[in-house]
Structure 1
Amino acid sequence: MNEIVASPQRLIAQAREVLRIEAEAVARLAERVGEPFARACALILACPGRVVVSGMGKSGHVARKTAATLASTGTPAFFVHPAEASHGDLGMVTRDDVFIAMSNSGTTEELLTIVPIVKRQGAKLVAVTGNPDSALARLADVHLDAGVEREACPLNLAPTASTTAALALGDALAVALLDARGFGPMDFARSHPGGALGRRLLTRVADVMRTGAALPQVPTGSRLVDAILEITRKRMGMTAVVGPDGRMAGIFTDGDLRRLLEQGREVQGLPVDEVMTRSPRTIGSQALAAEAVRLMEEHRVSQLLVVDDDRLVGALGIHDLLAARVV
């Protein structure tokens, strides 16, 4: 076994060289993107079926990631392993699909076995290779050149710069298609409902607000002490004050109570109408919960009354938003 040479300086120098080579490979790839790329995008945009992405080995990992990125950005896509495809999985591919074959050499035997059948079925073929003269490139309806001058591996053997270039080209396809489809943040959120972006963009105030018995409220004309008891019971740091017709009349908060006590006011016989805030911050039930967060931060409040058509329908506190993981 060779002696391990691993001084910090050597490790850092090697890492910087790898990053430099791979960055240059992607930069040169950008210069080569042209009409074939536009034709590949046009094929996919016109595709009535799905995009099927395939590759072996390291190219297979890139193909799998490309399929996932396409699927999450508005282009229905999935990965098929070429070896499994020749043993039955090729039935997943139809004449309405676009088949993207990824192979740095362009001579991957497993792909070359199934590609003629894919084309015979009528599916369009996009090849992503590092060799424009390869068999796979010649069979393709569109060939995208992802070639690199050399790998970042000092032996020029391990797929490194080539896989980075292919990965970047796959991302370029996905983003160009995203833009062409007008795919926006709400579309992205719908395909990522479990993520932070999905929660911010899909969660409505109505989904997290307090209603019914959990909603702190007292009628107009109530004694202030009754309002204080309601604040204590519902543990939101405030209570809404509601008119007999259900319309929101105002809000009284624990902050208002502290200010009254600092002024030396006698609270025992005081009506809540006299000391409530008559124009509190409100939000509609169908507003995004993220908008409630913005309002709370902008106005430095920790609660909002939820009002539809001037009628109180709920209340929202910062802790409700935290519990829903919107914040």
Structure 2
Amino acid sequence: MFKQSALRVLKIEQQAIEQLAQYIDDSFEQTCELLLSCKGKVIVSGMGKSGHIGNKISATLASTGTPAFFMHPAEANHGDLGMLTEQDVLLAISNSGETSELLALIPVVKRLGVPLIAMTSDANSTLGKFADINLNIKVEKEACSLGLAPTSSTTATLVMGDALAVALLDARGFTSEDFALSHPGGSLGKKLLLSLQDIMVKDTALPLISPTKTLRQALVEMSQKALGMTGVVDKDGMLIGIFTDGDLRRVLDDRVDVHKTEIQHIMTKHCITANSDMLAAEVLNLMQQHKINSLFVVDKSGYPVGAINMQILLQAGII
């Protein structure tokens, strides 16, 4: 019983979304052009379920390069309409096109000369007639078995809002870096904005040894600092090589004497390094490109100032 009801809902809403394709027409093009040229903000408004959907649409627009926010129409009628300026565009959502709280805004909107875009299922409704552009969101029926609860209609409205946001995103040439700037607390923001300097190991936590130290001494340093590697520095502190867990497996296969072999004879010279002003995402890409699990961070002169490995990147949420 429950499964049958759920599958019926999915089928009806899927059909509603498919039918939206016919409404991606000249009105949609005109809406995109108007929103793209808007010098102020896109103010989204709607009551009830349309209001909830409108809130999400405004948030999606704002996060994808189109400045927008939601204005509750009931509150707008009691002072919040002051949010609206002549530079803005009003996107009013009402399935019926007869929502009284939205209709009450029309005289002020027209007096200000603010462009009005309606999202309704009836272009001949009051809201549709007064709108400069009407985006059709009509569906054949609601998924609710009573035909009353907004279900298919709100889904169609949400999808139309997403279509607008993405069309504008593409038109603006909005990039993932732009997206990250408006999502600094999200995982994408971390990936794109977090600096290597913020997460790298440094100072006394750096595993460093001189070239004349033995392999056994190198292993002690690697074990204590737990980065899966140790750097090899000359008498001036310049990084001249690296020895990693992978190098260890290689030399053990060659039956190297861990007590007598100096690290300078088995280290990897000309190792891959990063600089501290790189973004963590850049370093991850560098490590993946060269198939390495750790590397040192050096300054412009080649002195080691930090170190990073995959585990640190994972803990920082970069991976």
| TM-score normalized with structure 1 length | 0.89
Q: Which stretches in structure 1 are left out of the alignment for 5+ residues?
A: 1-9
2:211 to 217, 220, 229: 220
| TM-score normalized with structure 2 length | 0.91
1:289 match: 280
For residues 251 and 320 of structure 1, the distance between their equivalents in structure 2, rounded to whole angstroms, comes to 19
1:68 to 52, 59, 62: 59
Tell me, what secondary structure is at the counterpart of 1:26?
helix
8 A contact 1:107–1:135 mirrored in 2: yes
For residues 23 and 100 of structure 2, the distance between their equivalents in structure 1, rounded to whole angstroms, comes to 27
1:89 match: 80
Shift of 1:299: 5.2
Q: Which amino acid letter does the alignment assign opposite residue 295 of structure 2?
A: L
Tell me, what secondary structure is at the counterpart of 1:105?
coil
309-318 vs 126-135, greater mean Cα deviation: 309-318
The alignment status of 1:129 with 2:153, answered yes or no, reads no
Shift of 1:290: 3.3
For residues 39 and 254 of structure 2, the distance between their equivalents in structure 1, rounded to whole angstroms, comes to 72
8 A contact 1:96–1:122 mirrored in 2: no
Shift of 1:296: 4.4
22-31 vs 81-90, greater mean Cα deviation: 22-31
1:321 match: 313
Tell me, what secondary structure is at the counterpart of 2:45?
strand
Q: How many residues align?
A: 318
Tell me, what secondary structure is at the counterpart of 2:142?
coil
Percent of aligned positions with the same letter in both sequences? 51
Cα distance change on mapping 1:247 and 1:149 into 2, 3 Å: same
Alignment of 1:124-203 (within 5 A): 124-203=115-194
1:47 to 38, 51, 62: 38
Tell me, what secondary structure is at the counterpart of 2:104?
helix
1:29 match: 20
1:236 match: 227
Shift of 1:44: 1.2
Q: Deviations over 1:91-116 (max 9, x none)?
A: 11111111100000001000011122
Tell me, what secondary structure is at the counterpart of 1:131?
coil
1:103 match: 94
Shift of 1:53: 0.4
The alignment status of 1:14 with 2:16, answered yes or no, reads no
Q: Which amino acid letter does the alignment assign opposite residue 314 of structure 2?
A: L
8 A contact 2:193–2:279 mirrored in 1: yes
Shift of 1:42: 1.3
Shift of 1:165: 1.1
Q: Which amino acid letter does the alignment assign opposite residue 149 of structure 2?
A: A
Q: Please give the root-mean-square deviation of Cα atoms over the aligned residues, in Å.
A: 2.2
Tell me, what secondary structure is at the counterpart of 2:174?
coil
8 A contact 2:116–2:132 mirrored in 1: yes
8 A contact 2:297–2:307 mirrored in 1: yes
Shift of 1:181: 0.7
